[in-house]
């Protein structure tokens, strides 16, 4: 499967944001600190995922 570097980062940011927001919504209220934490989680996930290159696939027929 070939996933572009852009989409890999978008998915990572979405998952990080959703996880952080679901934790923040446990008390049915999002405070300013929880909002900043969610933003930080999204930006960190985008940055770290963007920095890690995709693994190169081999070109041999048996995949080794």
Its sign, for the CA torsion 5, 7, 8, 13, is positive
- 29/36 Cα distance (integer angstroms): 14
Q: Digits of tens for pLDDT over the chain (64 positions)?
A: 566 667 888 899 999 999 999 999 999 999 999 999 999 999 999 999 888 877 777 766 665 5
- 8/12 Cα distance (integer angstroms): 6
| pLDDT at 9 (0 to 100) | 86
For the chain, helix (H) and strand (E) counts, in that order, are 2, 0
| pLDDT at 45 (0 to 100) | 93
| pLDDT at 64 (0 to 100) | 57
| pLDDT at 3 (0 to 100) | 62
CB atoms within 10 A of CB 53: 7
pTM: predicted TM-score of the whole model, two decimal places? 0.73
């Amino acid at each position: 499967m070939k996933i572009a570097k852009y989409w890999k980062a978008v998915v990572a940011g979405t998952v990080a944001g959703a996880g952080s927001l679901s934790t923040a919504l446990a008390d049915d209220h999002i405070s300013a600190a929880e909002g900043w934490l969610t933003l930080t989680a999204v930006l960190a996930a985008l940055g770290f995922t963007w920095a890690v290159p995709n693994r190169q696939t081999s070109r041999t027929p048996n995949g080794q």
